[in-house]
Structure 1
């Protein structure tokens, strides 16, 4: 479907040196049916031929060219020019399956209280092999509280989420000061402002690449801790104590495993001890088990 004069959905695709993949992402959006939409590709200072890869689409897409500023900066540039009532995000190296926009748009129409939603996603390797399904989360009570214990709860994340554009006026744009996990930070802020929902059918494809940002575990660790600390104030006061500390302890414990696998045994032990001190009751058994495994050289 070609871009419409009055789009319901603005699809934002940040692209940096994405000449090799952005075409598949754009094509998967243009193949969506049943919903008026526009496609906004933000060329974030690419030094390859991303501009050339986009030129052939003509007026079927809008291209925003800007100096390189990172993923959050590119997404924010797209939000600022978006014309749709709804904003959907897609990373340049992922793509959508047919019916994605229609399913989410229908959900948002049927549930007007929902501020943002996502879809389940297929996770594939660069050769196309299916690695698994990123399913919709299951939670009880506050979804915001659940996010503090399971950061990856929002299925599809940066390639699966759709947001009511007006909600950004309330929560702000993506944090350009974070080196990673800016999406988790945004989902927490959105969840504090409005309900979340998820389409259970896998309608996005996430490509897991060895050289992706998510492989830089030290950057992710620092960002995860920053996001948890920054957004503690969003929780109800009753959850800012033990609940938040248990979430922080889980972050330390998770990244302790990665540090151990990377050969940083002392750093791993230090993180487990931090986790134990934060939440001895809620995470004590987990931490003591990890310390035992690290001491015995067992795989974790």
Structure 2
């Protein structure tokens, strides 16, 4: 019996990335397994993005919206999409040639898989490799240890806890059914930092199984002028707020998923507290970790608070 071949809509949100937009689009057009469509959502750009997009003619679908943020752009693209599966690519990053093919082979064989990820490379703009996603995370290293010779690594609900605790939500390598994405409401409009992990946690809550390709399928370029690097303290505060906004929704989630979420919140608050300490803001540092003890009284949370107190000169 022949296997049904999946279709993919690639959503590219763009805001003033005319300098790199062409490279991103070319990387999708160069796929060994072609996308059904490429949907470029221009989020109110004021640069030459529209001119760059026009050079691709009808090979892409160009849609402009008023500036509303990356989540709104991705969600709009998903609503317009016509393929069964959605993938996403930021306008300053690229897909590697097998990005869609590797997932297509898996989905054709196992059409009920809930989502797929893959390894990715982190590079500087000059092309210098900084690290890879899988072997730089505890959850990734655990998968490699369990499946040392596999390119396709299955994951189940038992693995979701560690993936969430690690924050392993590489949006460039995520493939998700369009129906699932729309049912979940997509990415949050009111959170612009950590919106990818927010969506991944909610995706895990309704999923049974997924998979990871142990081969880099995308490149994430690290730019010094990114929001995370221009205002790391503000970004970390926003990141913690994004995670904590899921508290009510996760009250009835599986225990493992909740443990993973709590671990990520703990790590986020500790990181925020140490950032405050380095700035000499003692009361803010203590305020960042005190909620850990109030919400979940335990030896671990007490130890976290004490560690911050001891770090105060």
CA distances 1:140-196 after superposition (whole Å, capped 9, x unpaired): 85444335523x212xx2222111111123211221111321111111111111233
Counterpart residue number, 1:207: 221
- More helix per residue: 2
Counterpart residue number, 1:171: 184
Counterpart residue number, 2:76: 77
1:267 and 2:267 matched: no
Contact 2:22/2:53, CA 8 A, preserved across alignment: yes
1:158 and 2:171 matched: yes
CA distances 1:246-298 after superposition (whole Å, capped 9, x unpaired): 54333211222233344434322332333344453234445534443x225xx
Supply the distance in 2 between the matched residues of 1:262 and 1:109 (Cα, whole angstroms).
52
Supply the distance in 1 between the matched residues of 2:90 and 2:183 (Cα, whole angstroms).
24
Per the TM alignment, residue 40 of structure 1 is displaced from its structure 2 partner at its CA by 0.8
Counterpart residue number, 1:3: none
Contact 2:70/2:192, CA 8 A, preserved across alignment: no
Q: Which stretch of the first structure deviates more once superposed, 239-248 or 24-33?
A: 239-248
Contact 1:246/1:279, CA 8 A, preserved across alignment: no
Supply the distance in 2 between the matched residues of 1:48 and 1:141 (Cα, whole angstroms).
44
Within 5 A, what are the aligned runs for 1:136-285? 137=140, 138=142, 141-150=157-166, 152-154=167-169, 157-194=170-207, 195-215=209-229, 216-217=231-232, 218-234=234-250, 236=252, 239=255, 243=259, 245-277=262-294, 278-285=296-303
Alpha carbons of structure 1 residues 165 and 98: separation in structure 2 relative to 1, 3 Å: same
Give the TM-score, by structure 1 length: 0.85
Alpha carbons of structure 1 residues 133 and 238: separation in structure 2 relative to 1, 3 Å: closer
Q: How many residues align?
A: 287
Alpha carbons of structure 1 residues 133 and 148: separation in structure 2 relative to 1, 3 Å: closer
Give the TM-score, by structure 2 length: 0.82
State the secondary structure of the residue aligned to 1:153. coil
Supply the distance in 2 between the matched residues of 1:49 and 1:242 (Cα, whole angstroms).
44
Q: Which has the higher contact order (CA 8 A, sep 6+)?
A: 2
Unaligned ranges ≥5, structure 2: 144-155
Supply the distance in 2 between the matched residues of 1:53 and 1:36 (Cα, whole angstroms).
20
State the secondary structure of the residue aligned to 1:175. coil
Per the TM alignment, residue 203 of structure 1 is displaced from its structure 2 partner at its CA by 1.4
Alpha carbons of structure 1 residues 246 and 206: separation in structure 2 relative to 1, 3 Å: closer
Alpha carbons of structure 1 residues 229 and 44: separation in structure 2 relative to 1, 3 Å: closer
Contact 1:7/1:37, CA 8 A, preserved across alignment: no
Per the TM alignment, residue 228 of structure 1 is displaced from its structure 2 partner at its CA by 3.0
Q: Which stretch of the first structure deviates more once superposed, 118-127 or 16-25?
A: 118-127
Per the TM alignment, residue 235 of structure 1 is displaced from its structure 2 partner at its CA by 5.5
Q: Which stretch of the first structure deviates more once superposed, 231-240 or 61-70?
A: 231-240
